[in-house]
Structure 1
Amino acid sequence: MAITMNSSLRCVSLLALAVALSPLAPAQTAPSAPLISVRQDAKLGPILVGPDGRTLYLFTKDGTGRSSCTGLCAVAWPPLTATKLPARLAGLKGQLSLIQRADGEPQVAYNGIPLYYWKDDTKPGDTTGQGVMSVWFAVNPAPTVQMGRAAALGSVLTGSNGMTLYTFSKDTAGVSTCVGACAVNWPPLLVAQLPTRGIAVRGGLATLIRPDGSRQVTYQDKPLYYWKGDLKPGDAAGEGVMNVWSAARP
């Protein structure tokens, strides 16, 4: 019995020594959360969120690739910062970039739009910054205007729904003259926030205020519209209607 016990103790000791001398296995680390992802909000639709799941916002007073929120503004609206961007973001069609803030810190931008958190959002799912002072809005990842194709026309501009966009030759720069019944047949492309463009869209986007107070998107100062006769992406039945309507080209 003593021999058996001694043998068992020697085996245990040798096993402990082997474990002590063996190289330690690398610690398993949880995969890091993506820098930006998309969350479906019940009221706002798809919106961008940061790695902690909190809502990201844009500031309509910013310019493309430039932040104008500094000082106390940046305390209330902390910028989303990163030292480098991931090589690829699955599911996001927009382009990420880093811009340099006034203090030299790199800030993340989506399609050139600087991104921020809101101090009063305390957990994922909060969107209390939406519409603050009518200049802060959650970011919809689908570009307002993007490149598409119409079977008979080739490359055209489309909305985020893929439907062809049009211009009206009777409009003037930054002014829409299509109202009333005209706007029923040719619904204006409206946004509640700063419009965004797809990577392939090179011209400038802006907005104008229509007589009813809604905000219409313009491309190169031309107001943009849909045509009620188009039923699916790729349709361009509004091209040439009354010789005053044309599909918008990039």
Structure 2
Amino acid sequence: MLIYLKRNLLAVACMALVITACKKNSADEPTPEPVPQKKGIQLASTTTFGAVLTDKDGKTLYFFASDVAGTPTCSGGCETTWPIYYSADASTDLNLNKAEVGEVTRADGRKQSTYRGYPLYYYASDAAAGEIKGDGVGGIWFVAKPDYSLMIANAQLIGADGKSYTSAYAEGTGNTKYFTDAFGRTLYAFAPDKNGVNNYTKGATQEGIWPVYQAEVLIAPSVIAKTDLAVITVASIGKKQLTYKGWPLYYYVPDAKRGDNKGITVKPATAAVGSVWPYVYTTTTVAPAP
């Protein structure tokens, strides 16, 4: 009987030690850190488009080609399909370049968030986070990405002579689609160039007026075939230059503002507008062989 009691007392003592140890271990365990709340513009990874911009809840954001100048042009009924996006919160996404995030005040006084100067929108038909149904709509709406090397503008051509031109370079009004860089600066081809051959740039002095467009990241809106993009080396200045359908691409320095396209009227007096420094778009023909 005495032995039985001793065994029971020992068992109870052991259980007490275990319970005490468990309590001590539980108390010693650190409290889990709360999951940080997402704020502002975020980056999401997609299979089809790669990195895209979203809001804090994962809903896709878009660029509008007609906003190339940085001024929102989607208003009224357009906003029913393309609601504007605005967040006063700084982005909490550590992979996003915060310096490229901004905001603009619309004509009605409301604010709208921007990325690389492009106002950001939702697409009403994207019902859930992660959906991207608005890319390519009308050839002027594109999913917002942080890494485009080309963008598409949809704006009025206005030459250095102050006159308005159509897409066919005739005097008149109406938007034209043309390529810009990721920040809305217009890109041009040089008519005497050949496929993959820069015949214009002979040195740094000449490049001062028509700088080559340096880009080695071949990422463009979905309506632009990636196979039409390539990179050449311009030996005279030791720089890389992006080409489209074989045409080396250039800036025009007097294009001081986003979307400016004054270079189309640079030509000899007897030549036609756009015959020497044309804008570039998907309708541009393939550059001739060297």
Q: Which TM-score applies when normalising by structure 1? A: 0.51
**1:11 — aligned with what?**
none
- Could you list the runs of 5+ residues in structure 2 that have no partner in the other structure? 1-33, 151-180, 199-214, 242-249, 252-290
The answer to whether residue 115 in structure 2 is matched with residue 110 in structure 1 is yes
Residue of structure 2 aligned with 1:43, choices 38, 45, 48? 48
Alpha carbons 1:190, 1:216 under 8 Å: kept: no
Say which SS state the counterpart of residue 71 (structure 2) adopts: coil
Question: For 1:13-54, what per-residue CA distance to the aligned partner results, in whole angstroms no more than 9, with x for missing partners?
Answer: xxxxxxxxxxxxxxxx98542211111111111111111211
Q: Does 1:193 align with 2:198?
A: no
Partner amino acid, structure 2, of 1:91: N
Do the aligned partners of 1:190 and 1:214 also contact (CA within 8 Å) in 2?
no
Structure 1 runs (4+) deviating above 3 angstroms are: 29-32, 175-178, 187-194, 213-217, 243-250
1:91 aligns with 2:107: no
Alignment of 1:64-143 (within 5 A): 64-82=69-87, 84-86=88-90, 89-93=93-97, 95-143=100-148
Q: Secondary structure at the match of 1:226?
A: strand
Residues 61 and 190 (structure 1 numbering): CA distance in 2 closer, same or farther, change over 3 Å? farther
Shift of 1:64: 3.5
Shift of 1:144: 2.1
Listed as ranges, the matches of 1:156-195 within 5 Å are: 172=190, 177-179=193-195, 192-193=220-221
Q: CA RMSD in A?
A: 4.2
One-letter amino acid of the structure 1 residue matched with residue 43 of structure 2: V
What is the SS of the residue equivalent to 2:67?
Answer: coil
CA distance in 1, matches of 2:92, 2:149: 22
Larger Rg: 2
Give 1:138's aligned amino acid.
V
For residue 66 of structure 2, the aligned residue among 51, 61, 78 is 61
Inter-CA distance 87–55: structure 2 relative to 1 (3 Å threshold): closer
Check 1:81–1:123 CA distance in 2 against 1; reply closer, same or farther (3 A cut).
same
- Cα distance in 2 between the residues matched to 1:31 and 1:120: 29
- Give the superposition deviation at 1:103: 1.3
Contact 2:147/2:219 (<8 A) preserved: no
Distance 1:176 1:35 in 2: 47
Q: Report the Cα distance in structure 1 between the residues aligned to 2:89 and 2:70, rounded to whole angstroms.
A: 15
CA drift of 1:107 comes to: 0.2
In structure 2, do the counterparts of structure 1 residues 30 and 246 end up closer, same or farther at CA, with 3 Å as the change threshold? closer
Q: Which amino acid aligns with 1:36?
A: I
> Matched residue pairs, number?
159
Cα distance per residue 1:173-201 (max 9 Å; x no partner): xx58343x769xxx99765439xxxxxxx
Runs of at least 5 residues in structure 1 that lack an aligned partner in the other structure = 1-28, 146-158, 161-166, 195-208, 218-223, 228-237
**Alpha carbons 2:38, 2:92 under 8 Å: kept:** no
